[in-house]
Chains A and B, each alone.
Chain A
Amino acid sequence: MIENEEKVPKKELVGKVQQLISQGYRFVTISCVELDEKYFDLLYHFDKDLTLITLRVVVERGETVPSITVLLFGAFLIENETQDHFGIVFEDSVLDFGGKLYLGDDVRRTPFCKYGIKDVSKTKQESE
């Protein structure tokens, strides 16, 4: 459990972010954690006067997440990174690299996921 943490359902995320911005919070980053075979945690970190608050959103594998880049342009890099590493797709992103921010065109896999090993070995052989 992290200090100043709040659980937010996925539907209310954009509204909550909007509310924080109007209160003068500065966007810090998003952290993504793979919980188990089915779920991911997305942690949205915001900062105001050196206090950090965190919104926790639980996402199911294969689901899309609403993008917050409409409100915060600064989030485009981290959203694309998360898409590269974990394969979570963000809807209506302002600047979408389509999962190719870091990875080469010949690599098609999500390197940060523990589960889905079958897929990885297959694409690994292809890329080599």
Chain B
Amino acid sequence: MKNIIPFGPQHPVLPEPIHLSLTLEDEIVIEAVPALGYVHRGLEKLADIRDFNQMIQVCERVCGICSMIHALCYCQGLEDMMKVEVPERAKFLRTIWSEIHRMHSHLLWLGLYADSFGLESLFMQFWKIRERIMDINEVTTGSRVIVSVNIIGGVRRDISAEQIRWILGELKIVEKEFIALQETMNNEYTVKKRTVGIGYLSKELAHSLGAAGAVLRGSGISQDMRQLKYAALSHLDFEPIVEYGGDCYSRGLVRFREVLQSIDLVRQAVDKLPDTEISVKVKGNPEGEVINRVEQPRGECLYYLKGNGTKFLDRVRIRTPTFANVPPLAHILPGADLASVPVIVLSIDPCISCTER
């Protein structure tokens, strides 16, 4: 017997509105059709009435979770277009903040993911650790979530030596508490039972469906936009993290290890932090076309910008990582149990406000 079950948009396990029409045969999903549009705002169009400096604030609000990295991508694109050389210290500060953002996003996801298979205490633990990261954000930039530090030509704020010492101390505690959860998250029998082999995506499929980020790396393809060496990453040791399982467990493992990697990257960046200006003055208006890509917590993010010599940009096109991961999701849901659907949906780390903009 076939049943069609609507999943969402207001659903207890989902913090965000996405709608899936699940066609079920008994308890097995045989077709999943996503329906979007509950968060659509059309903010790319705001480029017509907001000038290129004001657009930074709009880009930050594409998605609250990776706000800083959105602004980073936009600013890097425009700097590229206007041929601005950003001071070294600004590049390092950008890297530090973007890695802190990645940690906060991954910890958030790990918590929600734990909640999706019913381990609520683990959810609480991850979010407890995350509060320390939020404190770092608040102390260094003045805001917990939407970190408005990027401007065209550099950054707005500096981190003092005293703050750096404090950040390193906090990171030490974060690392210790985080590693203490490793055993539960990665080796616990009940967790493995819910995640290993669930939502399998093969390497070939991940490639042909154009997946991004942890979904791609969890399927054994070593691709991370940080390999492009943007900002200060050219000075830092970096290897993309790859897992070969292709299931929910592997995707979780990739993100788990990336938190530790981010802590390491922040430490490296702090060590090498040069002593220069933090921003340069920018003159003129952008003209031309440019594409810039960065790695967000959820994967590859692409900005296409087109300027026409006035202060309003012709086109701002934002391709966000979840947008690329929705087709793989529609592909891995068929064959799964209805009870596994929340786990699989969360395993791609959906960010719907990114997807629809």
Secondary structure call for the A interface: mixed
Of B93-101, B129-137, B155-163, B313-321, the segment with at least 4 beta carbons within 8 Å of chain A is B313-321
Whether the Cβ atoms of B40 and A103 lie closer than 8 Å is: yes
Distance in Å from the Cβ of A41 to the closest Cβ of chain B? 9
Contacts of B217 in A (CB 8 A): none
Indicate whether A74 sits within 8 Å of B306 (C-beta atoms), given known contacts A26-B210, A102-B37, A103-B40. Answer: no
Indicate whether A102 sits within 8 Å of B209 (C-beta atoms), given known contacts A33-B314, A45-B302. Answer: no
Closest residue of B by beta carbon distance from A25 = B207
Closest residue of A by beta carbon distance from B327 = A74
State in angstroms the CA–CA spacing of A34 and B45 once bound together.
Answer: 12
Whether the Cβ atoms of A102 and B36 lie closer than 8 Å is: yes
Q: Number of residue pairs across A and B with beta carbons under 8 Å? A: 87
Interface positions, chain B 33-84, Cβ under 8 Å from A, are 33, 35-37, 40, 42, 44-45, 48
Contacts of B233 in A (CB 8 A): none
Query: How big is the B interface, by class?
Result: 35 or more
* A interface size (C-beta, 8 A): 35
Indicate whether A101 sits within 8 Å of B36 (C-beta atoms), given known contacts A2-B290, A2-B291. Answer: yes
Contacts of B251 in A (CB 8 A): none
Distance in Å from the Cβ of A83 to the closest Cβ of chain B? 13
- A-contacting residues of B (Cβ < 8 Å)? 33, 35-37, 40, 42, 44-45, 48, 207-211, 223, 225, 227-228, 288-291, 293, 300, 302, 304, 306, 314-315, 317, 319, 323-324, 326-328, 331, 356
Whether the Cβ atoms of A50 and B228 lie closer than 8 Å is: yes
Contacts of B315 in A (CB 8 A): 31, 33-34
- Partner of B324 from the list A28, A33, A104 (CB cut-off 8 Å) is A28
Contacts of B209 in A (CB 8 A): 72-74
